[in-house]
Structure 1
Amino acid sequence: MLHSASGRIGPHRVMTKDTKPVTPPLDGMLDLDEPEFEAPSVDEGPAPEWSGNELLQIDVKGKIWVRGGRFFDGRVVGKVGGEDGEAVIAMLADRFQALEDRWLLLEKDVSGIHNMVRHIKSLRSFIHWVEGAKAIGDFEALLEKASGELERIETQLATGRAAKEQLIDEAEKLADSNSWRSTADTEAELMERWKRAGAGGGDEDEILWQRFKTARSRFFDRRSEHGAEVRENRRTGQQAKEDLITQAEALNSSTDWGATFDAMQDLMEQWKRTPSAGRKTDDELWNRFRAAREPFFEARKKQFAENRRQQSRGARDQGRPRGRSQAPRDRGGSASPGARRSSNQGSLHASLAELVGPLRDMFPADRKKEEDD
């Protein structure tokens, strides 16, 4: 039997969850790293029977057993002998208290940590440390908390990895899209979702990011190439239209009506084939091109009108209507009403044709305005 100042310790001294550790006197404290306190080998005897909620038992050989459970295998954590049994038990209880204090610090540290991999490593190290500790206490409860936290973080990382895999799949499907504006908007949404997806875990996070980045870069690189091509085409189109405007301005004072009319029509056909310079620039250039052509067609219109007036005056002076043949006359010597109507209609048609032609040249009906990409 073991004895101490607090009373007798029998061969099956029991410590429960409510038992408070006794602080041993300094002169009675034993070094728990000494060989007599190391866990014995398995062949030193079977584990004791457990009943109730006791956390430890001391068998007839003085071995101190701690109770196991779902997270912890019961085992020997030390051995008592002589008159120092209470001191040994108190020391082992204090050691367990140190483990619980360490857990509280770990919980506080990891609550605001962003490196989940470091968090997992800390938890695994702590669990390994607890499982091999020579101490007396509720190992099952402590390991349940630590294992639960480890499982929670591992689940969180697995969820983050799955979310990022989904985002990578979506980004890869968009990599070859030519819908530049809408796809760019979708890519921005994917990036925001990536930021909210959470960590995937250390090196795995970096691998996932590189895959996501590669898929996005393919689309944005292609968009940049397309943009450079569009800008070059617009620059070429603007320069070509500037040249056509210059040519039209050089011709707009010409009185060589036939040749200049043909030249103006050719400039219009070239304008239609010229690449777009962009919506706003195209509108500005078109207004300048139309203004450059207008003086010629206005002058041509006035000249044709003057020619018609002179022709009409000459016809009246000669005492006959316009036309190649003499109009039929009635019995009184004047042109018959039918002949006069026919002659007047012919003159009207000729006048309309001369008016419509220049107007058609000035405002071509088939002008096509290029749209932006």
Structure 2
Amino acid sequence: MTDQETTQADGQQGRATPDTTAQGTTTPEAAAATAAPGSTATGAAAPVVPTASEHPERWGRVDEDGTVYVRTADGERSVGSWQAGEPAEGLAHFARKFDDMLTELGLLEARLSSGAGDPKQALGSAKHLKDSLADAAVVGDLTGLAKRVDHVIGRAELAMEAGKAAKEQARAEAVARKQALVDEAEALANDSTQWKAAGDRLRTMLEEWKAVRGVDRKTDEQLWRRFAKARDAFNRRRGSHFAELDRQRSTAKARKQEIVELAESLAGSTEWGETANRYKELMADWKAAGRAPKDADDALWKRFRAAQDQFFSHRSEAFSERDAEFAANAKLKEELLAEADAIDPSTGLEAARGQLYKIQERWDQIGKVPRERVRELEGKLRAIEERVRSAADAQWRRTDPEAEARVAQFRERVEQFEAQAAKARAAGDKRRAEQAESQAAQWREWLAAAESSVANR
């Protein structure tokens, strides 16, 4: 390999594409090598330093007594003594030691370029290497090596600055993330009533909190106190809510127990209307009582429904029997109406009235009929009753003794006044005769009206 090829190979050691973190932030080490491989971040190319082992005579010599010298910008400097063999072997030995230093420096550059190395450690190693150059027992291009070391030191310092900036940015992002978690936790603690969802979210947030790194201790403690306080506040508020809910459910359970006992006590009642209304009231009370614990609520509801079903089942059976009875009663009353319709008062009023009286007694003994038929059947019976009553009224008017007595009285008065008029005329008392005749005429009119009333009955 030629000196030029060796130089190019050395210049390529440690080259790598700048890497980034998972968050997209350039690593400190990669940031120090953002220029082309072998150059600094400011664009200055890395000094090319040739290896010394191929042509060590270019960089040093061995004198006759075996002393080995290296050529520097300040002149020759003794680096050691070689007595074990040929002078060329001595030069080659110290040249290989120079190449070892060059290799070590190349490794530092490679770590800086790849981001795998610690810039601070690389800086320390490069400075230590620089300090050792003044009396290093090597043969090679010490001036070039010194410039190359300075170049590495510069890159390490840039990497440290970039690392510091990146760390500060990461810290700021971590603080912002934890601040966001704190704000969210405080909002949940103050406002949320979605107890399960909020509780699950707070547990997830705690895991997210643990995963956030890079916050300084003081800030982290301050944020953690707020975060923990928010979680405690939410847990207390949730605990109070469920404690109150338990209290309400306990009260609801006791109230529903009372309702169930009342419902069960009414299950055998035959007061159909009153009890049905009472069950409606108990249902409204049940809804107003609120929810009891689920197991108890379900069990109490089954008992309540069972009591209701028992009552309404009995009522339904009773109504079915009653409806059948009422329908039979209606049929019997229809038969009575047919019998009553045959009554004829004109053939004998007293007999007709007797028949009607017996039918009315039998009618009442039969009992109730379906509601929708009450008016129809009662109306037909009233019509027959009215027919018999009208016949009786007509007979009474015809045989009213008071009316007959009035006719006889009016006739007697007419006769009295006619007699007085005749007697007065015979006596020649014209005035008394006319007066008696006038009174007789008045009573005659009344007599005619009374006779007409009796005749029209």
TM-score (norm 2): 0.42
| Bigger helix share | 2
Instruction: Tell which structure's C-alpha radius of gyration is larger.
Output: 2
